[in-house]
Structure 1
Amino acid sequence: MPPIMHANRLHLLLPFALPTAADAPSELHSLRAPALDKLLARATLVERVAGEDFQRTLPHERWVARQFGALADAAASSAADEAPLAPYMMLADGADPGEAVWACVEPVHLRVAHDHLILLDPASLELQDEEAFALFDIARPLVEELGIRIEAPRPGRWYVSGEALGSLAGASPLRASGRSVEIWLPHDARTGQRSRAWMKLQNEVQMAWFEHPINEAREARGLPAINSLWLHAQGARQSVRSPFARVFSNAAATRGLALAAGVAASAPPSSYERLPAAANPAAAGLAGGGATLVELEAFAAPFIAQDWPGWSHALTELEQAWFAPALAALEGGDIGSLVLTLCGDTASVTLAAGRGDLRRFWRRRVLASLFE
């Protein structure tokens, strides 16, 4: 008797897969990715969550937090300002957050542009581990002098905790990247006022790093100076549960939520065919139980940089590595359902397709119709 595989669900989370209709150039509106096109056309709309222009977290962050129970339901999360992800990121980075309130802090570059400052994407800074640790050693006594605890389980991602910080609402770095930082700087979550404690800490660190030999050497190599700190994701760890049996992601928040829920998490493989056998029943010849979440971040860098040829190239690569083979597995009955959650700058859309949905040829939906 053949194995029953229809309980298997593969869920692909795609951050930055939905540009705004206004930003996307005309060629993006006519892109063709046959497997993705078929999936989008035939799938059933499960959920559409509309965000707000000035939300401080990203839709995929809120979606993940909600799936694991770290954030309220869809209606509440669409208005929520902050997903308390720092303690889970800390857990993924190998440290124990305990019950304390933590915020994530990242060394960044703020670029001067006319009358405002612009945050560069931290991933574009090419910050070396030894540079990050050296900058941390400079910042640490200044932070601790204010009665704030600071940990650096990873070179370029640090964590702070202390009553002096108060309750802060900060924006995700990729939410603010490429924009004037004025409205995205941390403020008191209760009063809405700019946090003086954080401003004092930030200013002292900026002064200590100004014209430091590390930054002089970076600028000599044509790289941006590391001239500021960025705080976000403050919160305390709480009890979470996972709707997924397996999680594949490079995102610290996603991995940390999985670990907190008792689910092993690892980096996603390069393609659907390389999923481990338990997550890819077609590779094993039998069904694996439960659902598998795979977070694919190929769209992130070109989206942030508004590099639309690069974004189109990422779509082509995902089509070949993931959408086409996953569609074939769905058509062959190797997986029971395929779910796609596509996210943009403020909103997200989730669509689900079973094998029977693929026969509904009268359904029509194109990727461009989902653009924000």
Structure 2
Amino acid sequence: MPASNPMMDSPSHLLVPFAAASAPECRALLPEMRLPNLTALLGELTLGTSLNGDDHEFTPPHERALAHTLGLGLHDDGAIPWAAAEDPHPDRPQAWFTPCHFQVGMDQVTLYSAESLGLSDDHARPLFEALAPYCQEDGITLHYASATRWHAEGEPLRHLICASLDRVSGRSVADWTAPGQADNPGAQLIKRLQSEAQMLFYTHAINDQREAARLPIINGFWVHGAGAVGHARIASGPTPIVCDNLRQSAINGDWATWRKAWETLDTEQIPSLLESARSGQMVMLTLCGERHATTWNNASPRSAFSRLGQAIKTLRGKTPAWKQLDTL
């Protein structure tokens, strides 16, 4: 998924990943949440498109919704080429490599990405420089974009199926390994590179420093956003701002912090959309859970029947926002 941009291309379209989650602890919180501005905004808008899926898809709803909005078209699950989409040469096969800590437990291996570990450039760059020559030998050129994102380019990346980092972070790796890749040479090559990185990083001096500082070692990397853009983009609407305020607390399973982040979002960012909607400006809101992404808008004039329904809703009281979140 593209890196978040704090500047809005379209101030009137807000896309919110992790607006709800499937964890029972999150679902239990929803009825207690008071989001008055979101409730009022949804009351001003009309239900638009929905992208439906399930918790087990490699591509989460917010990535599918964003790809649709950016005109990247429809892709197989786990095959949205985010790295290529951000490159001046999107027709070339590319991917993101994110350094990770793989925690080995009694019955599973859990991934924690560099983003959640606060990996610094001082620690990330030496590991990158150690891995890059091994990638080059296998036809993959590695470029250092940031501590948490290494840009990879090469033909072996063209047909990879990869689980989004947002799906696998904090979870068992076994649940997010693409099936049916045994005959894919690129997938086999990546698997071998991951094994080589594990051995290479394990003995690296940077990890000695991290262990001494009681920090999780970096013992591998995760590939995501792989592939190439094989067609011209056909943008389907204004580029939204992606609000990542809820992301890390949801990935960490910290639902108390997630709830506070939603309340802050309701206080600080939703009111401007509400004001725009009430003044007659076009407004779009896309809320994404772990299964579905749903968009509300005021793009089309309401029919007389719709206006009557809205009047009845107003008399009865507006539907609390949490009930909409519970459907995601």
The interval holding the TM-score normalised by the smaller chain is 0.7 to 0.9
Matched, 1:301 2:271: no
1:42 CA displacement: 4.2
Helix, strand or coil at the partner of 1:195? helix
Separation in structure 2 between the aligned mates of residue 30 and residue 21 of structure 1, nearest angstrom: 16
1:138 CA displacement: 0.3
Q: 1:153 to 1:194 in 2, by over 3 A?
A: closer
Separation in structure 2 between the aligned mates of residue 178 and residue 114 of structure 1, nearest angstrom: 16
Quote the residue 1:281 is aligned against. none
Q: What CA deviation, in whole Å up to 9, does each residue of 1:210-262 have, x standing for no partner?
A: 032211212222321111010112111342143455x5xxxxxxxxxxxxxxx
Is the contact made by 1:12 and 1:295 (CA closer than 8 Å) also made in structure 2? Answer: yes
Helix, strand or coil at the partner of 1:19? coil
Helix, strand or coil at the partner of 2:118? coil
Is the contact made by 1:187 and 1:193 (CA closer than 8 Å) also made in structure 2? Answer: no
Counterpart AA for 2:77: A
Quote the residue 2:114 is aligned against. 122
Quote the residue 2:289 is aligned against. 344
Q: Which runs of 5+ in 1 are unaligned?
A: 1-7, 248-292
Quote the residue 2:271 is aligned against. 324
Q: 1:60 to 1:308 in 2, by over 3 A?
A: same
Q: What CA deviation, in whole Å up to 9, does each residue of 1:247-298 have, x standing for no partner?
A: 5xxxxxxxxxxxxxxxxxxxxxxxxxxxxxxxxxxxxxxxxxxxxx221110
Give the root-mean-square deviation of aligned CA atoms: 2.8
Is the contact made by 1:42 and 1:358 (CA closer than 8 Å) also made in structure 2? Answer: no
1:358 CA displacement: 9.4
Q: What CA deviation, in whole Å up to 9, does each residue of 1:147-167 have, x standing for no partner?
A: 322222334311223334562
1:361 CA displacement: 4.4
**TM-score, length of structure 1 as denominator length:** 0.74
Separation in structure 1 between the aligned mates of residue 228 and residue 182 of structure 2, nearest angstrom: 16
Task: From 341, 359, 362, give the equivalent of 2:312.
Answer: 362
Size of the aligned set, in residue pairs, is 307
Matched, 1:311 2:258: yes
Matched, 1:85 2:82: yes
Is the contact made by 1:100 and 1:161 (CA closer than 8 Å) also made in structure 2? Answer: yes
1:204 CA displacement: 0.9
Q: What CA deviation, in whole Å up to 9, does each residue of 1:334-355 have, x standing for no partner?
A: x513211000122111112479
Helix, strand or coil at the partner of 2:73? coil
Q: Tell me the percent identity.
A: 29
Q: Which runs of 5+ in 2 are unaligned?
A: 1-9
Q: Which runs of 4+ in 1 moved over 6 A?
A: 354-359
**TM-score, length of structure 2 as denominator length:** 0.84
Task: From 205, 209, 214, give the equivalent of 1:217.
Answer: 209
5 Å-filtered alignment, 1:1-372, equals 10-20=12-22, 22-72=24-74, 80-89=77-86, 91=87, 96-97=88-89, 99-165=91-157, 167-185=159-177, 195-237=187-229, 238-244=231-237, 247=239, 293-331=240-278, 333=279, 336-353=281-298, 360-363=310-313, 364-370=318-324, 371=326, 372=328
Separation in structure 2 between the aligned mates of residue 47 and residue 243 of structure 1, nearest angstrom: 12
Q: 1:195 to 1:187 in 2, by over 3 A?
A: farther
Q: 1:294 to 1:21 in 2, by over 3 A?
A: same
Q: What CA deviation, in whole Å up to 9, does each residue of 1:282-335 have, x standing for no partner?
A: xxxxxxxxxxx221110101111111111111112111211123313332x1x5
1:136 CA displacement: 0.7
Counterpart AA for 1:201: L
Separation in structure 2 between the aligned mates of residue 119 and residue 336 of structure 1, nearest angstrom: 43
Counterpart AA for 2:319: R
Counterpart AA for 1:181: V
Which one has the bigger helix percentage? 2
